[in-house]
Homo-oligomer: A and B are copies of this chain.
């Protein structure tokens, strides 16, 4: 049994979903573990991770619009405003999605379904550089 870790740097363009499936899969191929457990971890409180459909881009548009609707930028709603009107909604959207994902590895590949992609969900309005930590254990 062995382990490997890595860190991905994801440059976002402001709010929205950024697919990182290929970058994760590439690293997995380099490590060469056949059976194991992959953990994807986002080191931020205003960006998060989700697994979503990677086929129709409209799904991403609707998801982004949905989170904009349920946690809107509206300074009157929030006490915490010193980092900008988009910061508190970003924390809420992070709480409603995930900071970590756990994905089994079987036959050297993530056990994702046909339509599943891994996305970093940027919740801040401006571009950010986000760090995603990968951990893999197996053999």
Interface range, A side:
35 or more
Q: Chain B residues near A59: list those with CB within 8 A.
A: 45, 80, 88, 91
Residues of A at the B interface (CB closer than 8 Å) are 1-3, 5, 35-37, 39, 41, 43-46, 50-53, 56, 58-59, 61-63, 66, 70-71, 77-80, 82-83, 88, 91-92, 94-104, 106, 111-113, 115-116, 131, 133-135, 137-139
B133 adjacent to A111 (CB under 8 Å): yes
Q: Chain B residues near A131: list those with CB within 8 A.
A: 113
A41 adjacent to B102 (CB under 8 Å): yes
Enumerate 29 A-B pairs (CB-CB under 8 Å) in ascending A order: A1-B3, A3-B138, A3-B139, A5-B106, A37-B135, A39-B103, A39-B104, A44-B116, A45-B51, A45-B59, A45-B113, A45-B115, A45-B116, A50-B95, A51-B99, A52-B94, A56-B82, A59-B80, A62-B79, A62-B88, A70-B70, A95-B96, A98-B98, A100-B101, A100-B102, A100-B103, A106-B133, A111-B135, A137-B138
Please report the C-alpha to C-alpha distance between residue A106 and residue B100 in the assembled complex, in whole angstroms: 15
Please report the C-alpha to C-alpha distance between residue A51 and residue B133 in the assembled complex, in whole angstroms: 15
A39 adjacent to B37 (CB under 8 Å): yes
